[in-house]
Amino acid sequence: MPSEIRRSAPLLIIILVAGLYAGYAISTFAGPPARSDYLAERVSSLEGAVAALQSQINSLEQRNSTDQGGASLNAIYSASKDSIVTISGLVSSSPMFGIYSEVLGSGFVVNLTGECLVVTNYHVVDGMVNASMTFIDGEAYPFDVLGTDKYSDLAVLRPHAPESKLKPLTVVSSSTLLVGDSVVAIGNPYGLQSTLTSGIVSQLNRAIKTESAGSYTIAGVIQISAPINPGNSGGPLLDSQCRVVGITTAIISGSQNVGFAVPSDTIVREIVSLATTGSYQHSYLGITGVSNSYLISQVLGLPLTYGVLVQAVAAGSPAHHAGLSGGSFNVTIAGSDIVGGGDLIISIDGRPIVTIDDLTSMLDAYLPGQTVSITVLRGGENVVLQAALAARP
């Protein structure tokens, strides 16, 4: 219907304008002057209305052209709602007194192993008992936890549900995402089943800390503006083609529209191991570091304002065996304690390292046992070191 209106609108405008000018011409030559002035004013007014209508038509055509690359929000929701589940169960809130509280989260069906499984967050099912997953039609089923990875906040579940209920979503590589791309999050915030929110990709390759990951960070995370709340955790992050590009995982308390999603590349990389062995081994370098900055470089006399300044190297770690050096003296910069004198990591396998997020995300893409070339700035010179990555302890 809208396309038919757009096609017929130019013809209507031509007929309308022709009729108005014909009426104006007849009035001018046959009617009194007062009437002619009145019709002239009406024609002028209607000409403005026609111009406004044409502008609206042009805007609609432009929007239609833009939207051809993606589905509407309603179409995305309609195509995905049957694949998204509510995860619920009990978690002990007071082990001593045997008190349990209900926990809610989200999950979604995928088929990346030849079997339809449900993916959710580790923190959703961690310690959960009497657990079930509920589909949008209200039917609920128990499930088995096949594997978990607290360092990526992922869990893979096998539902005890009929095969007809399991409708997998399409998963694509998150490496195709660009900052500014439209994304949609669907989940169950505060138990409000099947809620859709939309936004954009605010940034890529973030590294965030969560309670479940301990001292490590979750790497390669997508920052999004789509509003997410407790209960959204484990739901899919979809692109404009209704394809999974991530799994919503965390928010910053007190922030507005700052959310995070584990990238789909992490799901694809880990799901076979999680489903078959119950776990996934992350690579390990064995350093602590901080992102270099203009202020740090000025205080420490570094010629570069980017890179990762090595603070300490764990004994016996791959970094130790590769010869990386930590700092040797302490200094307080803008209220933060920094250890100076260590190596400044500036690239991995020739790819630049700007911040600690870059380093974490890049290393997470390697497997234990692989060797990487690390370029560091040491004593004003670039030094290339070889590090054989190990499994994270």
Would you name the residues annotated as active-site residues?
123, 153, 233
CA atoms within 13 A on the CB side of 97: 5
Going by their DSSP bridges, the two strands 287-291 and 283-284 should be labelled as unpaired
Residue 142: partners with Cβ closer than 8 Å, 6 or more residues away = 131, 132, 133, 159, 160
**Residue linked to tokens 């603070």:** 311
> What single-letter DSSP state applies at residue 317?
S
Residue 267's Cβ-count burial label (10 Å; 0-12, 13-18, 19+) is buried
Spatial distance between the Cα atoms of 327 and 12, rounded to a whole number of angstroms = 76
> Do residues 364 and 220 touch, judged by C-beta distance below 8 A?
yes
- CA-only gyration radius of the chain, Å: 29
Q: Which of 65, 74, 64, 61 is nearest to 10 (CA)?
A: 61
Evaluate whether 200 touches 177 at the Cβ level (below 8 Å).
no
